[in-house]
Amino acid sequence: MIRFEQVTKRFGAKAVLDGVDFEIKKGEVFIIVGLSGAGKSVTLKHMVRLLTPDEGRVLVDGECISDAGSKDLERMRNKFGYLFQSGALLQWMTAGENVGLPLREHSKKPDEEINKIAREKLKLVGLEEAFDKYPANLSGGMRKRAALARAIIREPDIILYDEPTSGLDPATSRTIDRLIADTSRKLGVTSIVVTHDLHSALSIGDRIGMLDGGKIVELADPAGFIASKQERVKLFLESQYITRKGSWEESTAS
C-alpha cells in the first residue's frame, strides 16, 4: 500500500533518513518507533508529501507521491487522514466545525447534514458533548480525539497518527490506543502510528519498525520485536522496562 524506496532526507549535513526501505501492507496497524529525533515524524510526513525526499521515492498504491503534480497530489492525499501531534485543530472554529470542515470544503452537502455527520464522528470518539466547544476549552486528550474525528470524516483508506499519546496521562493514552485499534478494525483502514511509547506499540501494532541512525533497524511483529537481537532494540526495550522474558503480556503484567 505504501512503499518507501531508498528514501534519504537530509536537514543540513545530517541525514535524518538514510536510504529507508520498507513497505506497509493494506489494512495493517504499522507502528514506527524510535528515540526522539530518529526521524519518525519525518517518515510520516513523506507519506503525504509534507516533505519530499532528497533521494528515493514514496509510493502510495503503486503511484509515486513524491513527484506527483498538484491534481494527483490532491487526489492521493484524499486517501489519507492525519492526526497531528498537537491535534492541529483550527482554533477559531468549534470542535464540530473543525470535524465538519473537510466535508464543508469538498462536498455540496448542506450544513445540517454535515453537522449531523460531524456529530456522529464525534460520538464515535466519545466526544459528542464537545460539538460546540472551542479547542482552547478542550483537554489534550479531547483535542486529539476531536482531531481523530476530523481525520476520519471523509472515510480515508489510510490514517496516520503522529505521537497520538504524547503528553497524555497513562489512562488517556490507553483510551487513545483503544480508539486507534477500534477505528482500524471498524473502518478497515490502514493505520500508521508514530510513537516512542512501546506500550502503545506492542498493544495495538501488527508490525513494528524501529528507526535508528536514519535506517529501519528492526521490522517485526510485536513478539518478534521483543525477541529482537538488535542491540539498539534491546536498549530501547529496556529503557521502557520491557524484558525479553516471556510474552509481552507477561512482561507488562510483571
Partner 1 sequence: MLGEAMTHFRSALKRRARHDIVEQMYVAGIKSLGVITVVALFTGMILALQTGLELRRFGLQANIGTAVTVVMLREMGPFMTALIIAASVGSAIAAHIGTMVVSEEVAALEIMSINPVRFLVMPRLVSLMIMMPLLTLFTNIIGVIGGAIVGATQLEVTMTAYFDNARLFAQNKDLYVGLLKSVVFGMVIATVACHQGFSTTEGAVGVGRATRRTVIISFLTILVLGYMITRLFYKL
| Contact with partner 1 (CB under 8 A) among 89, 122, 193, 216 | 89
Site map (CB under 8 A) of partner 1, residues 191-230, x = contact: ----------------------------------------
Give the N- to C-terminal CA distance of the chain in Å, as an integer: 37
Q: Which three cell numbers stand for residue 70?
A: 498538484
- Comparing CB distances to partner 1, the nearer of 42 and 242 is 42
Tell me if 102 contacts partner 1 by CB under 8 A: yes
Tell me if 85 contacts partner 1 by CB under 8 A: yes
- Comparing CB distances to partner 1, the nearer of 125 and 217 is 125
Tell me if 74 contacts partner 1 by CB under 8 A: yes
Contact 194, 44 (CB under 8 A): yes
d(CA 74, CA 68): 9
- Comparing CB distances to partner 1, the nearer of 82 and 248 is 82
Per-residue CA distances from 197 to 17, 174, 191, 254 (Å) = 21, 11, 16, 18
- Comparing CB distances to partner 1, the nearer of 58 and 217 is 58
Tell me if 84 contacts partner 1 by CB under 8 A: yes
Give the DSSP per-residue string, 127-145: -GGGTT--GGGS-HHHHHH
d(CA 82, CA 156): 9
Tell me which residues touch partner 1 (CB under 8 A): 48, 50, 74, 77-78, 80-82, 84-86, 88-91, 101-102, 104-106, 150
